[in-house]
Amino acid sequence: MRPDPPQDADTVAEVGEFGLIRRVTAGRTQPPTTLLGPGDDAAVVAAPDGRVVASTDVLVENVHFRLDWSSPEHVGRKAAAVNLADIAAMGAMPTALLIGLACPADTPASVVDGITAGLWQEAAVAGAGVVGGDMVSSETLVISITALGDLNGLEPVVRSGAQVGDIVAVCGKLGWAAAGLAVLSRGFRSPVAVVGAQRSPEPPYPSGPEAAAAGATAMIDTSDGLLADLGHIATASGVGIDIRTELLEVHPRLIDVASALGADARHWVLTGGEDHALAATFPDAAAVPEDWQVIGAVRPGDGVTVDGRGYEKPPGWEHWR
């Protein structure tokens, strides 16, 4: 459910398509990779490496976000982060975002202003530009984003490269967004740090290229949960992965929240999605960058185990399930 808009707020229908485009693009600055930004039929983005990394995601109101839980700015930041993290997970530096926005005619223009402000803010954090897109009428608020990136001479780090004997490591928060979802679902709005992780995640964008330069053999963005996404690496690489719980950091704040809600903080860490941390495999412990946390190893076999055993609960999020 959306909060009630201010009584004097303009709607997107009143502002009009082209007026809205002017509102969300005027006065914005672009990074050097944006050679031609919004205003023409298409943008021009530099690709110094000669190869372009591309990814796309769709966020739907009341599926991926709720405007009674998050401000429009939070939604914009989250929409950008979801896509930018995928670029980092390939070992690339983000360069540009293309935005598709669909919304009802009675949507307050201030909501679109806030969403696009959040998009621009998060893009700037990652060093990317917002270079174009499209706006259309829809019965539901939908944000579709295509992210572009540059490999800077490195090879892309794919899911199929893990080898038996590799070390498994993660970089970024795990379990925080799941804890925030649990808190919001109970009708609470604090602790702020936990709720904030659900509203707008903070992926470690520079750590993707850092891992690629260090020799990572496989990498993935943990959008659906650590076990679920490591399962994609295991399947693509034809190997097994074992996670050791004694190596997993569970922040005291998560333990406190789980205790208050009667939940399991370690389950959030293992299966909670939407933190957009990075998980990767490396040939040996010496190759793991300093800000990464070793959590397990690649073994013969298939699937993902926890302390040598199959995990009895669902490993993460999956649409239509």
For residues 206 and 91, is the Cβ–Cβ distance under 8 A?
no
Based on the fold, state whether residues 195 and 303 are members of the same structural domain. yes
Strand order across the beta sheet in which 309-310 lies:
218-221, 278-282, 167-171, 293-299, 240-243, 303-306, 309-310
The Cα-based distances of 46 to 9, 16, 95, 152 in angstroms read 39, 31, 8, 12
Based on the fold, state whether residues 88 and 206 are members of the same structural domain. no
Based on the fold, state whether residues 177 and 106 are members of the same structural domain. no
Residue 7 in any domain: the answer is: no
pLDDT of res. 4 = 53
Based on the fold, state whether residues 67 and 186 are members of the same structural domain. no
- The pairs formed by 27-31 with CB atoms below 8 angstroms and a separation of 24 or more are 28/120, 28/130, 30/129, 30/130, 30/131, 31/95, 31/127, 31/128, 31/129
Based on the fold, state whether residues 137 and 188 are members of the same structural domain. no
| Domain harbouring 230, CATH code | 3.90.650.10
Residues of the chain with pLDDT under 50: 5-8, 320
The alpha-helical segments, DSSP class H, found in 26-128 are 72-89, 109-126
Based on the fold, state whether residues 242 and 114 are members of the same structural domain. no
Q: Given the structure tokens 């943008």, which residue do they identify?
A: 43
**Total tally of structural domains belonging to the chain:** 2
Residue 219 in any domain: the answer is: yes
Residue 172 in any domain: the answer is: yes
Provide the annotated binding site for substrate. 64, 274, 317
Provide the annotated binding site for ATP. 133-134, 159, 223
pLDDT in tens, 97-139: 999 999 999 999 999 999 999 999 999 999 999 999 999 999 9
The H helix count followed by the E strand count for the chain is: 10, 13
Q: Of 93, 121, 150, which residue constitutes the final position of a domain?
A: 150
CA distance 127 to 199: 21
Residue 87 in any domain: the answer is: yes
Residue 316 in any domain: the answer is: no
Based on the fold, state whether residues 140 and 179 are members of the same structural domain. no
Based on the fold, state whether residues 117 and 200 are members of the same structural domain. no
pLDDT in tens, 60-95: 999 899 999 999 999 999 999 999 999 999 999 999
Comparing CA positions, the residue from 274, 258, 314, 316 lying closest to residue 63 is 274
For residues 83 and 55, is the Cβ–Cβ distance under 8 A?
yes
> What six digits make up the tokens of 165?
């004997």
Q: Of 88, 122, 150, which residue constitutes the final position of a domain?
A: 150
Domain that holds residue 281: 159-310
pLDDT of res. 78 = 97
Based on the fold, state whether residues 101 and 170 are members of the same structural domain. no
Based on the fold, state whether residues 164 and 277 are members of the same structural domain. yes
Based on the fold, state whether residues 298 and 165 are members of the same structural domain. yes
pLDDT of res. 270 = 97
pLDDT of res. 122 = 98
Provide the annotated binding site. 41, 55-57, 64, 86, 133-134, 159, 221, 223-224, 274, 317
pLDDT of res. 36 = 93
Neighbours of 127 (CB within 10 A): 16
Q: Of 150, 177, 193, which residue constitutes the final position of a domain?
A: 150
> What six digits make up the tokens of 37?
């930004």
For residues 48 and 151, is the Cβ–Cβ distance under 8 A?
no
| Domain harbouring 143, CATH code | 3.30.1330.10
Provide the annotated binding site for Mg(2+). 41, 55-57, 86, 134, 221, 224
Residue 317 in any domain: the answer is: no
Residue 315 in any domain: the answer is: no
Based on the fold, state whether residues 288 and 231 are members of the same structural domain. yes
Residue 20 in any domain: the answer is: yes
